[in-house]
Amino acid sequence: MNNKKRNILQAPHVWAFTTYFAEGFPYTIIRIISSVFFRDMKVSLEAIGLTSLFGLPWVLKFLWGPQIDQFGTKRRWMLTMQFLLVIMIVTVAFFSPLPSGIRIIAILFFMGSFIAATHDIAIDGYYMEALDEKGQAKFVGYRVMAYRIAMMTGTGIIVTIGTTISWLVGYMSAACLLLILFIYHILLLPNVETEKIPVRSLLKSFLSLKPFIVVISVLAAFLFLRWIFTLEWYQQVKSQIPIIDKIRFSGWVGIGLLVALILLTLFKDRIKSLFLRDRDSFYSRAFMSYMDRKKIGVALAFIILMRTGESMLASMASPFMVDLGIKMHYGWISGGIGLPFSILGAMVGGWMISRYTLKKTLWPFLLAQNLTNIIYMLLALALNRYVIINTGADVLTPIGSFNLSLVAAVHAFDQFAGGLGTSVLVTFLMRTCLPEFKAAHFAIGTGLMNISGVLSGVMSGFLAQWLGYGYFFGISFLASIPGMILIFHTPFLEPEKST
């Protein structure tokens, strides 16, 4: 391979796409495709509900983010995790035809979720190491585009192969695709870092007593919570307060993190003194350097609240289309219209942030993202009679070509505005990261970002059932207002303020 071709293949335009495709693809397999697979294997809905546990590592990944910063390089972590993910998917493929393989596959997916979450940390850290702040903003559109294409590849191609040919062929196809990316990355992904501490030092530290105590404590807490959920009094509470029954285990973890965050804010000085008793601890310094900054409470609130309205809308947009009576059109509306407009929004967002700065684009982009809720409200109110007629009906009443085109147009705007919103969110999260702890700080930010999604997802079904889709979408816009107000008080909007 001559130098010109090699330089092209090593350009950020290429690896920003391939790395984030490689990030989104395992997530899709573990978090989305797994539900389709298990249901196709006649697994009960109650058991499928337990697959929400697969999402735990993405909520908790900030706990081991500092290790990715401190030991080895992000490139090495990325490649190691990619190889392990290929092995995991191949193993799943071979167990998929076996009737007794379902439980083993569930365990493999749960283990794989920790690998995939670590893989995410490494890729995000590598991206911030390889590019300066202007470059990070410039290529953020490529990140979002690649991630969404990976999701569509999984839910479209892999699911189609699995349900029509066999899951063995489907999962093997997925493994081959990820293997091709792994080979490209190991051969051509640029080396942009200097190793801080060799990974073997991390392995040595795991042999000490302290890590074992931490692991045992976490497992004990996990088992204790699972035991509480089986008690009779908890079942009685669920029957009296139905919303509790909708909160999965991962949701309770998210609520626990929110409570811990509030306590950390209230007792920051005391907790800081405890954390920094060992001043040589990279782990403690990573957390406290993120939390111990001016106006960090406002920044954390903004991270948690900025996508509340969008999360509420996203959780009910698909059920709305089903009850509207257009589920047979959902595929082409989502894939043929939604995906291209989502990619376009991400690309335009990244370019405009790079050209006009985050501070100037944050407000208009989030306003566009949240105005989608108002547009959906007007659409739902206008078409409410079709919702009433078609909800649960065996024979559907067509809504007409004009109304169908209107739904498609609203979905296109939703996805375009969502791409803009994702661009500013990712850029803001990167702006909150200090140079020494890039991977750890980004993992903290993305973990906090998931909290609003967990909580709003729990409430959405009840509100939509109670109020109807139209008024629910209006309420979801009101839920987005606190995040938009915080824009005017949020730090880290200028590059120099992130230091």
Token digits for 303?
């991270």
pLDDT digits (tens, 9 = 90+) for 158-204: 888 888 899 999 999 999 999 999 999 999 899 888 887 777 777 76
At 250, the pLDDT band (50, 70, 90 cuts) reads low
Q: What pLDDT is stored for residue 75 in this prediction?
A: 93
Q: CA of 224: how far to CAs of 217, 227, 231, 367, 432, in Å?
A: 10, 5, 11, 43, 35
| Burial track 235-252 (b if 16+ CB lie within 10 A, e otherwise) | eeeeeeeeeeeebbbbbe
Lowest mean pLDDT among 110-119, 120-129, 168-177, 263-272: 263-272
Q: What pLDDT is stored for residue 498 in this prediction?
A: 40
Domain match, 108 and 237 both: no
At 325, the pLDDT band (50, 70, 90 cuts) reads confident
Domain match, 313 and 426 both: yes
Final residue in a domain of this structure, among 274, 300, 317: 274
Domain match, 112 and 237 both: no
CA 150 vs. chain centroid, Å, equals 13
Mean pLDDT of 229-255: 68
Residue 212's domain comprises 200-274
Mean pLDDT of 52-67: 79
Residue 76 has pLDDT above 90, yes or no: yes
Q: What pLDDT is stored for residue 176 in this prediction?
A: 97
Cβ atoms within 10 Å, residue 458? 19
Mean pLDDT of 254-273: 66
Residue 297 has pLDDT above 50, yes or no: yes
Domain match, 251 and 336 both: no
Final residue in a domain of this structure, among 231, 249, 274: 274
Domains identified in the chain, total number: 3
At 26, the pLDDT band (50, 70, 90 cuts) reads very high
Are the beta carbons of 185 and 19 closer than 8 angstroms? yes
Final residue in a domain of this structure, among 147, 176, 199: 199
pLDDT digits (tens, 9 = 90+) for 334-373: 777 888 888 888 889 888 988 888 888 999 999 999 999 9
Domain match, 455 and 482 both: yes
Q: What pLDDT is stored for residue 497 in this prediction?
A: 46
Domain match, 4 and 123 both: yes
Domain match, 147 and 73 both: yes
Lowest mean pLDDT among 62-76, 214-228, 406-420: 214-228
Residue 37 has pLDDT above 90, yes or no: no
Domain match, 81 and 162 both: yes
- Tell me what the pLDDT averaged over the chain comes to: 82
Domain match, 195 and 210 both: no
Residue 223 has pLDDT above 80, yes or no: no
Cα–Cα distance, 144 to 337 (Å, whole number): 16
Residue 268 has pLDDT above 50, yes or no: yes
What is the residue-wise DSSP string for 428-484? HHHHT--GGGHHHHHHHHHHHHHHHHHHHHHHHHHHHHHH-HHHHHHHHHHHHHHHH
Token digits for 474?
């209006």
Domain match, 104 and 68 both: yes
pLDDT digits (tens, 9 = 90+) for 446-495: 877 777 766 666 677 778 878 888 999 999 999 999 999 998 888 887 76
Are the beta carbons of 365 and 425 closer than 8 angstroms? no
What is this structure's pTM? Answer: 0.75
Lowest mean pLDDT among 153-162, 245-254, 440-449: 245-254
At 149, the pLDDT band (50, 70, 90 cuts) reads confident
106 or 497: which leads in pLDDT: 106
Cα–Cα distance, 102 to 50 (Å, whole number): 13
At 257, the pLDDT band (50, 70, 90 cuts) reads low
Q: What pLDDT is stored for residue 23 in this prediction?
A: 95
Mean pLDDT of 28-42: 84
> Positive or negative CA dihedral for 302, 305, 306, 307?
positive
Domain match, 334 and 465 both: yes
Lowest mean pLDDT among 263-272, 354-363, 375-384, 422-431: 263-272
Token digits for 34?
């797994």
| Best mean pLDDT range from 112-116, 240-244, 355-359 | 112-116
Cβ atoms within 10 Å, residue 69? 27
What CATH number corresponds to the domain at position 26? 1.20.1250.20
Mean pLDDT of 314-336: 79
Q: What pLDDT is stored for residue 6 in this prediction?
A: 66
Domain match, 147 and 78 both: yes
